[in-house]
Structure 1
């Protein structure tokens, strides 16, 4: 059974779910999610002989949500994970991240190889620091309606997503009735981020009404600003990571994604998945789970758990 508590790390309070004993594994969730998103992994990894800790990341759930937009840079979010390891009385850990949690995990391994001995990223490939700021490159490419851009102006996305939180979570997590999921990443004029959702589809088999109610109630209390502030640091993160241009992550690494995940099926995502070894010279496995979408660890827990257990066991035995 997992337990929960609040722990002070990196100058803020983080709510964590925790289980098991053994080598430390930190699980970092993405947007718009919670430590609850790892509900299938926590018991499986604990049973496999690991001390598993999953925080509500900065800005989410019961963790602190600083008001300042600049408090959500990659240095702050990685700093939280470093601080968490220290607050738990450990000096070494393995780190796993999904969605926005994946860049945190990749950068944790990149910035602090002395702490993070192995890294797994789900759905989002490792950092390929491009030739310019992400938002500048979108504009230069003639793109003005990508969801990253829509999320930039404080208050706009918050107002839309918070208008009916139950509907928001049902659409974002449960699916939008779209034949092409990548279309959901583009915001039609006047329609907002949720404008593509034409029908209230039944929930997918992997997401119960109880699960949805937990996400809904938590975001109803916290709002969406904290999570959206991560997106408001995209260009700043590019500037801050200049010293790591073309750097590699040399620890053992694992990449997992769903074959139907729009993050990896688009032109840029597909290219990055094909070139993982450029950044990850010690990539042990690239697992693309056929038929799975973006919420891969919730959609296909058995396959994800098996891959993680094998990887973490081998990495901790080194």
Structure 2
């Protein structure tokens, strides 16, 4: 099934939409352009449309830009078993997507959880994913202790990653008013949100939304149309698919044990917002400082001022320029 719809409110042409059979899933994929393949992986709680600006810019720059709704999100199948959301499952999705598109290699780009997917794709399949760009979440070599165990060992018991573990708890909170959840999380984690709001540590006995505020007006990068698109999809699917990624942190860490300590050798790029709460997490700066040891062909580390977590939307033009400069540099050096 192919559709092509003009996005009037955004002023951007909408990508073509395909429904593909990928790795046992039915996957909704947005694409535009021709040339070297660039796969764009979104995070939580987002969809392929979070890459709308990048898809158009990459296509105009001579690339084939492809953004799937990831496993468990939007128009892509959400398996019922929690254990079907490990990092190996998701990397497998991206491997098969490249094959289904008739390509043998791709650049892989990701934001938030999608950044972890992108880093993992580069780590596990360097033959296929020949360059990698991560946004918001730094690359950290696979360690012997997963983050949930590290939090427990540090005596922490109310970090948001822990709150997301019990099936049904976060779903009940987020699905009570889906549009409000989307507005509050996106605004509060952005550079436009109040400085007093952080996503990491939750208030005792409170949920994730207690760490957010309702915006009086939406910021320029988040339109009413965007909120409606996100809300309509999450209203239909619920949030369990995305939350199940968090519920596989320990399982994925165990499965990734063969790659412990392994660096990424391909050309790499990192982009984040200076006001991103992820950069305030313990060890985040140390992880960035370790890039020379972990990303062996790093082509840039860009921390954009006054921007928050949703970097590819908050600073779409800057991110597009940095991404295209990175990819063009690979063509010129290759």
Report the TM range for the smaller structure's normalisation: over 0.9
Q: Is the contact between residue 134 and residue 238 of structure 1 (CA under 8 Å) also seen in structure 2? A: no
State the partner residue of 2:200. 185
Task: Provide the residue aligned with 2:298 in structure 1.
Answer: 283
The residue correspondences of 1:134-173 to structure 2 (distance < 5 A) are: 134-173=147-186
Shift of 1:199: 4.8
1:165-244 paired onto structure 2 within 5 Å: 165-175=178-188, 178-181=194-197, 183-244=198-259
From the superposition, tell whether residues 40 and 199 of structure 1 become closer, same or farther in structure 2 (CA, over 3 Å): closer
- 1:107 correspondence with 2:123: no
Which deviates more, 67-76 or 192-201?
A: 192-201
Structure 1 counterpart of 2:61, from 48, 51, 58: 48
Q: Which runs of 5+ in 2 are unaligned?
A: 1-12
- Cα deviation, residue 180, structure 1: 3.4
Residue number in structure 2 paired with 1:5: 18
Q: Is the deviation greater in 268-277 or in 50-59?
A: 268-277
TM-score (norm. length: structure 1): 0.97
Superposed CA offset, 1:201-249 (max 9, x none): 3222211111111111111111100000000011111111111111011
* Contact map agreement 2:200 2:281 (CA 8 A) in 1: no
Give the gaps of 5 or more residues in structure 1: none
2:284 alignment partner in structure 1: 269
TM-score scaled by length of structure 2: 0.92
Asked if the contact 1:58–1:226 (Cα under 8 Å) also holds between the matched residues in 2, the reply is yes
1:50-101 deviation per Cα after TM superposition (whole angstroms, max 9, x unaligned): 0110000000001000001011000011100000000001111110000000
**What is the distance in 2 between the residues matched to 1:127 and 1:12?**
29
Kindly state the Cα deviation for residue 190 of structure 1 after the two structures are TM-superposed. Answer: 2.9
1:94 maps to what in 2? 107
Q: How far apart are the structure 2 equivalents of 1:180 and 1:279?
A: 33
SS of equivalent to 1:124: coil
Q: Distance in 2 between matches of 1:126 and 1:316?
A: 24
What's the CA shift string for 1:28-55, capped at 9, x where partnerless?
0000000000011000000000011000
28, 33, 36: which one aligns with 1:23? 36
Q: Between Structure 1 and Structure 2, how many residues are aligned?
A: 317
Q: Specify the alignment match of 1:259 in structure 2.
A: 274
